[in-house]
Structure 1
Amino acid sequence: MNKKIIVASKNPVKINASLEGMQKILPNEQFEVIGVDVPSGVSDQPMTSKETWQGALNRAMNAKSEIPEAEYWVGMEGGIDKDEDGKMYAFAWMCVIDQNDAIGKGQTGVFYLPSKVQQLVEEGIELGYANDQVFNENGSKRKGGAVGSLTFGALGRTEYYVQALVLAMIPLVNPNLYPKE
């Protein structure tokens, strides 16, 4: 019987990353993945790690409320923050909730944004749209994302998210090592 994963997005990148991540950490399982649009409860462009995590958690919880019959609910939220020198970097948080309401949390690596992209984001433009403008792309956040543009496709957004999803699953696949608080 397939395990059902509810992904809190209809973005194909997030759906594919969820499936690939689950297949990596649970290779003997079969999955059915369903995407659902739910609110994040945070800004369209989260500007801190804390706000970004809250968006991922909210999305997973809202997905569970929307479709309660599943084994896993996944929320992903991309965000940006600044270092002590004021340079902007991007990352994403992953939240996975299981049937027992255990929560797994994983984060992607970070990468710095070019000053042109940073300037547009500071003017209030969401990272995906800023990326499209700077790199003359269209719909990049549903494809390779800023990470794909900046690495010339060497690392796409799906692959970038897969690792963080696997990391978020660690406490859920090792419940004896991570007792529920």
Structure 2
Amino acid sequence: MNKKIVVASKNPVKINAALSGMNKILPKIEFQVEGVDVPSGVADQPMTSKETWDGALNRATNARKVATDADYWVGMEGGIDTDEEGKMFAFAWMCIIDKDGRKGKGQTGIFYLPPKVQKLVESGIELGYANDQVFNEVGSKQKGGAVGSLTLGALGRTEYYEQAMILAMVQIVNPLLYPNE
């Protein structure tokens, strides 16, 4: 069986994470994947969990509008928020919509950003660019991302997003347990 995934991004990290996650949760299905550029409807750097989720949902919904011939549409949005002490952490939301209109929602774990990165983000610089400045990298969000830099390469952005993709599929692969999703 062959199914098509449309990822609401042309970033190879997001495309690879979607494909890898889907291959793990549905190993008997052969997938083809396509990336499309669509708007998120939120700021380039979402600053709350809600804004980040809205971006993921909007991306998946917009991808479904522009590429109608798929089985799954995937929106991924990386965001940041602050805890009660004012310390900034990063995470991402995943939204998957299947051809029947069911939605799956999953989130990565969080990791805290160093004060230097936090100051740059608070000044209006997107996390990927702030990370490049602090770690003297170029295009890190297309590679290991901040999570890769901070974990010394032990966890790259693709692997980080992959687990959340699998978790977002929970509601879709278990329709009897989530009948109204």
TM-score between the two structures when normalised by the length of structure 1: 0.99
Partner Cα separation in structure 2 for residue 128 and residue 35 of structure 1 = 20
> What does residue 170 of structure 1 align with?
170
> What does residue 52 of structure 1 align with?
52
Partner Cα separation in structure 2 for residue 2 and residue 173 of structure 1 = 16
Q: What SS does the aligned partner of 1:160 have?
A: helix
> Alpha-carbon deviation of 1:159?
0.2
Alignment of 1:14-29 (within 5 A): 14-29=14-29
Given the alignment of the two structures, is residue 151 of structure 1 paired with residue 151 of structure 2, yes or no? Answer: yes
Deviation string 1:82-113 (CA, Å, 9 cap, x unpaired) is 00000000000000000110000000000000
Write the letter of the residue equivalent to 1:106: G
Q: What SS does the aligned partner of 1:33 have?
A: strand
Partner Cα separation in structure 1 for residue 180 and residue 101 of structure 2 = 9
> What does residue 93 of structure 2 align with?
93
TM-score between the two structures when normalised by the length of structure 2: 0.99
Alignment of 1:1-181 (within 5 A): 1-180=1-180
Q: What SS does the aligned partner of 1:158 have?
A: helix
The share of aligned pairs that are identical, in percent, is 76
Deviation string 1:133-175 (CA, Å, 9 cap, x unpaired) is 0000000000000000000100000000000000000010000
- Structure 1: 4+ residue segments shifted above 2 A: none
Write the letter of the residue equivalent to 1:165: M
Partner Cα separation in structure 2 for residue 160 and residue 53 of structure 1 = 17
Partner Cα separation in structure 2 for residue 96 and residue 80 of structure 1 = 20
Write the letter of the residue equivalent to 2:48: T
Q: What SS does the aligned partner of 1:105 have?
A: strand
**Alignment RMSD, CA only?**
0.6
Q: What SS does the aligned partner of 1:131 have?
A: helix
Structure 2: state its 5+ residue gaps: none
For these two proteins, the number of residue pairs brought into alignment is 181
Q: What SS does the aligned partner of 1:92 have?
A: strand
Partner Cα separation in structure 1 for residue 88 and residue 7 of structure 2 = 28
Partner Cα separation in structure 2 for residue 148 and residue 116 of structure 1 = 17
> Alpha-carbon deviation of 1:2?
1.7
